[in-house]
Amino acid sequence: MSTLEITNLHVQVSTNDGPKPILKGVDLAIASDEIHAIMGPNGSGKSTLAYSIAGHPDYEVTDGQVLLDGEDLLSLSVDERARAGLFLAMQYPVEVPGVSVANFLRTAKTAIDGQAPKVRQWVGEVGSAMERLRMDPSFNQRDVNAGFSGGEKKRFEILQMELLRPRFAVLDETDSGLDVDALRIVSEGVNRLHDSSDAGFLLITHYTRILRYIKPDFVHVFVDGRVAEQGGPDLADRLEEEGYDRYLK
């Protein structure tokens, strides 16, 4: 049993006009095996929350805590956070020219486990994970995300998650831009990890359609840098019908 505990998190970025506060006291606790969905208007700070948890250097934590099983996550470097079991699927996955998918996956796995995976077994694991996510094996030779379509990038994020098997996965709009088949394939990937491990999930989304495939235990409404309301799955349906007006001043 693990917990990711975010308490009173305040985060700012530096701009030409000086520091700009974005997260204004986020409180959120995710226990292992739980799926939490976060929904909120554009610009409310959802990706900022994801980046801050992962350790993006542009986001300065000015107050609050993020604890993973009681350990101060914010004092760890990005790679230490990953080794502690944290995974982020980015809203806009970055292209890494010059680094092949095969090389990237093996290097990440080696870094997280502290030892290189056995070659034959690893190649098999990658192959079957690609098959499940309907990614052609030729992707192995391509550079990370370079020239991938939007949906291919999102599927590759889930491939990484399935192979690295994190304790906590933050998925930032992994459902955006997916066709109906890809949405199902990506959701199945999430459900597979959920069913075969006790990983906790933070699912950032704008749409209830992914929540038809992935059943959240909790839904949080995120407005102006903090959680404005928490509820069960029916809260998502209400948001889709009513929008965010009642949370905005």
Contacts with ligand ATP, residue ranges (CB under 6 A): 13, 15, 20, 22, 40, 42-48, 58, 91
Binding partner of 42, given Mg ion, ligand ATP, none, CB within 5-8 angstroms per partner class = ligand ATP
Nearer to ligand ATP, 47 or 160 (CB): 47
Closest approach, Cβ 4 to ligand ATP, in A, equals 18
DSSP β-bridge partners for residue 36: 202, 218
DSSP 68-108: ETTEEGGGS-HHHHHHTTEEEE-SSPPPEEEEEHHHHHHHH
- Cα 213 from Cα 116, distance rounded (Å): 34
- Cα 221 from Cα 37, distance rounded (Å): 9
* Site of interaction with Mg ion (CB under 5 A): 46-47, 91
Closest approach, Cβ 78 to Mg ion, in A, equals 19
Closest approach, Cβ 150 to Mg ion, in A, equals 14
Nearer to Mg ion, 46 or 154 (CB): 46
Count of CA atoms in the C-beta half-sphere (13 A) of 183? 16
Binding partner of 80, given ligand ATP, Mg ion, none, CB within 5-8 angstroms per partner class = none
Nearer to ligand ATP, 45 or 93 (CB): 45
What kind and span of H or E run contains 50?
A: helix 46-54
Binding partner of 138, given Mg ion, ligand ATP, none, CB within 5-8 angstroms per partner class = none
Nearer to ligand ATP, 120 or 249 (CB): 249
3-state secondary structure of 142: coil
